[in-house]
Structure 1
Amino acid sequence: MTIDALSEICGPTRTPVAWVRSGHVGYIGPDLGVDPHSPSVAMLSVGLDAPLVLHTAQGPISTGSSFAPARTTQRIVATQGWILVLFVDPTGAPATAIADEMTAAAGPFGLAHRRERELAELCCAPIVDPDHIYARAIAGAAPVTDPRIEQVAATIRSDPARSYRADHIAANLGLSTTHFLRLFTQQSGTTFRGYQRWNRMIHTVRGAVTGHDLTRSALDAGFATPSHFSETFRDMIGLSATKMLRAGIRFDLGTSPAS
């Protein structure tokens, strides 16, 4: 599927769009009324027509853009118009590169991306290029991640339904289980288990968007029960998968596996 051309001005006449790429998952559209949520990956949000309000445990913050590290609870509200939400795979350290582009901070949150105006213009262009948006969000070169952790992450992405045991992987790497789990979290910014849940969730959404039954897609992705998927999706995204799938969003799945 492809993204429809968008108008030059961000406004209600456009079709909300979402994409899945290797390394990033994005959404451009109206505020969907999400609840507080805590994704297993980092998240960049940009107000396309007006500032956002970032709701945190310490109170609301008005900002043009915000960056939340993985596993950080937040809720973004658009004060007017549309928003960009970009979920960034933590392996390969692109999340760190985005964090370095934020010009202010409030606790764990980064505020005011250096190129937030450019990002907004890219999102409102006649044709949206998800990979260009991602590249401009990162801008500089990302720090190097331990190749062992990158390989483990790539294995999880290639087969998210499989049950991966930390002790087995650690043994294959010649590490203790504790050391491996600490290294994975240190290098990727998220937990070994959380990274598996994220990839299973994306795999489920891909299946549902391509016309498969949502329940079947969740089970095929490795979730023990449909309710486990539903809880995971709501915890990470802040709304139900059913609501998202019925929101009139046009999906672009690209050609490569999801991150």
Structure 2
Amino acid sequence: MNSLVEVVGVALPETCGDPVIWVRPDSIGYFGPDLGVALHSTSVAVLTVGVDGPIVLEAPGCAVTTARSVYAPARASHRIIAPESRILLLFLDPAGPRAADTAAAMREFAGPFGLGHRREQALSIACLAGADPALVVRAAAGAVVAADPRITALALAIRSDPGREYRAPASAAELGLSTSHFLRLFAQSTGTTFRRYQQWARLRHVVGGLAAGHDLTRSAVEAGFASPSHFSDTFRETFGTSATAVLDAGVRFDIGA
């Protein structure tokens, strides 16, 4: 019981409400109704929790599965349906200071998908109480991933300047590694590919721009997308819905500190 109290903490007005997207250095989170997504594959791993009730996982090659929480690794095509529940979507930056092996907190697996997060009740309570996002992340985090410090530094550089085009051969050479070794090391340290991590950094920058009050076009250009259509295609591929649909749903943004 003490762990639940610790997770919930003090409800903060800026994180209460429905729906809301928060942006922090180590995470992006969404709390609100099902947005009706199509099949998609995220750039980084995502944890989905049915806050009010069960959710349904659909994925190619897997039986339709009902659970209260689902972990989907990066690049795993899937969609979550929540007909009677608001959901928590939690994207943890795989190379950030709060990077965690969320998969280790799942009770069982169906193919690549984890089912039943061990702290799903605490996560639901934290969302309903309007807990600070940092406490929600703390409830979700499992064992911390020991990333190679060279990869951690590179990931920070990518997040700091997402508009720059990073090439694997050049980045590998700067670290004194072969390209193949570099790409394996990056994937081992972050749980996603070098290309997908750059995609994640750009999408995160766009969401941060929207949270700061910038328009969608400006945010996408500053993030390094070649055109509005490039951004739209990437967003839909990653999240299973359009950025316009998210904005039309009346989502409120919380950029925090």
Give TM-score, length-normalised by structure 1: 0.89
Aligned residues: 245
Aligned to 1:89: 93
Matched residues in 2 for 1:204 and 1:224: separation?
Answer: 13
- Displacement, 1:184? 0.7
Q: CA RMSD in A?
A: 1.7
Q: Secondary structure at the match of 1:31?
A: coil
Question: Could you list the runs of 5+ residues in structure 2 that have no partner in the other structure?
Answer: 1-11
Does the 8 A contact of 2:55 with 2:85 survive in 1? Answer: no
- Displacement, 1:150? 0.6
Q: Secondary structure at the match of 1:50?
A: coil
Query: Where does 1:207-222 land on structure 2 (aligned, <5 Å)?
Result: 207-222=209-224
Aligned to 1:11: none
Does the 8 A contact of 1:69 with 1:95 survive in 2? Answer: no
Work out whether 1:223 is the aligned partner of 2:231. Answer: no
Work out whether 1:46 is the aligned partner of 2:42. Answer: no
Instruction: Write the letter of the residue equivalent to 1:101.
Output: A
Question: Could you list the runs of 5+ residues in structure 1 that have no partner in the other structure?
Answer: 7-13
Work out whether 1:181 is the aligned partner of 2:167. Answer: no
Matched residues in 1 for 2:165 and 2:146: separation?
Answer: 27
Matched residues in 2 for 1:240 and 1:79: separation?
Answer: 19
The 3 A distance-change label for structure 1 pair 141 and 100 is closer
- Displacement, 1:190? 0.7
Q: Secondary structure at the match of 1:206?
A: helix
Q: Residue 196 of structure 1: which of 195, 198, 201 is its match?
A: 198
Matched residues in 2 for 1:165 and 1:97: separation?
Answer: 27
% of aligned pairs identical? 54
Work out whether 1:63 is the aligned partner of 2:51. Answer: no
Matched residues in 1 for 2:128 and 2:163: separation?
Answer: 36
Matched residues in 1 for 2:222 and 2:13: separation?
Answer: 27
Aligned to 1:17: 20
Query: Where does 1:1-259 land on structure 2 (aligned, <5 Å)?
Result: 4=14, 6=16, 14-57=17-60, 58-91=62-95, 97-125=101-129, 127-138=130-141, 140-255=142-257
Per-residue deviation, residues 136-167 of structure 1 (Å, max 9, x unmatched): 101x4413111111111011011111111211
Aligned to 1:10: none
Give TM-score, length-normalised by structure 2: 0.90
- Displacement, 1:69? 0.8
Per-residue deviation, residues 87-116 of structure 1 (Å, max 9, x unmatched): 111125966521111011100011001111
- Displacement, 1:211? 2.8
Does the 8 A contact of 1:93 with 1:188 survive in 2? Answer: no
Instruction: Write the letter of the residue equivalent to 2:151.
Output: I
